[in-house]
Amino acid sequence: MSVALARRFKVDVSTDNSTWIKLGGINDFAPTENPTLQPADTYDTNGYNSFEKTMTGWKLVAKFYMPTTASVPSDPGQAILQATRFQFGTSARVYVRWYDRNGGTEAYSGLALVDWNQSKTSVPDIAEVTATLTGDGVLTAIANPYASTAVPQITSVTPSAQTATNLITITGNGFIGTIPTSGVTVGGVNSTGWTVVSDNTIIAKIPTGSAGSAPIIVTNAIGASAAFAYVRGA
């Protein structure tokens, strides 16, 4: 008999509860329930305390290291959380889901307020952040969405209007395992050079071509992403 590993859980975040981005760099993860208990003592409890749970809440605490590209933090999931800092209302909230990537049934999703705090600041430390996501409303049990490999999904490409040999950053999911040579195309032409930084990020060179519409596609062993609209510069 073996025991389950703590690192079996995966966490995704979203701004619209539809497009989910992996939260990378996690080194600690702790979901908790925060129930409100009301005393329900009666003579029939024979002098022992009795309680009822009248309300409940949930909280997710995740610690993660911050990867960088060219000295700039580059994890898109972390960027979604960081964008809630010093915000109010909807802008201070994100959708979050977590699930067992071993295929277990534990999988939940909900809307949460984000509290972002730097964990470590001393000289020998590397950048670590503690994000506390406090549930805002119901926590919903969901079907486990984990798949070890999936067709890539592109959510953004920056900067816009780049020309041949300039670099772009492609953000999304499913980039690990991008096929060689033809795995990244711009306007139907293979990128002249690209690097998979993480499952969520690719840095690619714009190939030679005419100005105008140049949809971007990323392909892994499972299949090709939907074409992401991009306009090349002159």
Q: How far, CA to CA in Å, does 145 sit from each of 101, 162, 224?
A: 9, 35, 19
Residues 174, 151: Cα–Cα separation, whole Å: 6
Would you say residue 131 has pLDDT above 80?
yes
Contact status, residue 165 vs residue 204, Cβ threshold 8 Å? no
Closest listed residue to residue 131, CA positions, set 66, 62, 83, 82: 62
Would you say residue 234 has pLDDT above 80?
no
Domain segments of the chain as ranges: 6-141, 153-232
Banded pLDDT at 53 (limits 50, 70, 90): very high
> What is the phi/psi pair of residue 94, to 5°?
-140, 160
Residues 134, 114: Cα–Cα separation, whole Å: 7
CA pseudo-torsion sign 121, 23, 116, 158: positive
What residues form DSSP beta bridges with 51? 39
**CATH code for 6-141?**
2.30.110
DSSP 228: B
pLDDT at 121: 87
pLDDT at 167: 95
Would you say residue 163 has pLDDT above 90?
yes
What's the pLDDT tens digit per position in 189-221? 999 899 998 888 999 999 999 999 999 999 998
Would you say residue 113 has pLDDT above 70?
yes
Would you say residue 148 has pLDDT above 70?
no
Residues 20, 49: Cα–Cα separation, whole Å: 44
Residues 53, 37: Cα–Cα separation, whole Å: 5
Residues 10, 14: Cα–Cα separation, whole Å: 14
* CATH topology for the 153-232 domain: Immunoglobulin-like (2.60.40)
Q: How far, CA to CA in Å, does 61 sit from each of 74, 90, 96, 108?
A: 21, 20, 11, 14
Q: Where are the beta strands (DSSP E) in 8-119?
A: 9-14, 21-22, 26-33, 36-39, 51-55, 58-65, 68-69, 72-73, 93-100, 107-118
Residues 33, 50: Cα–Cα separation, whole Å: 20
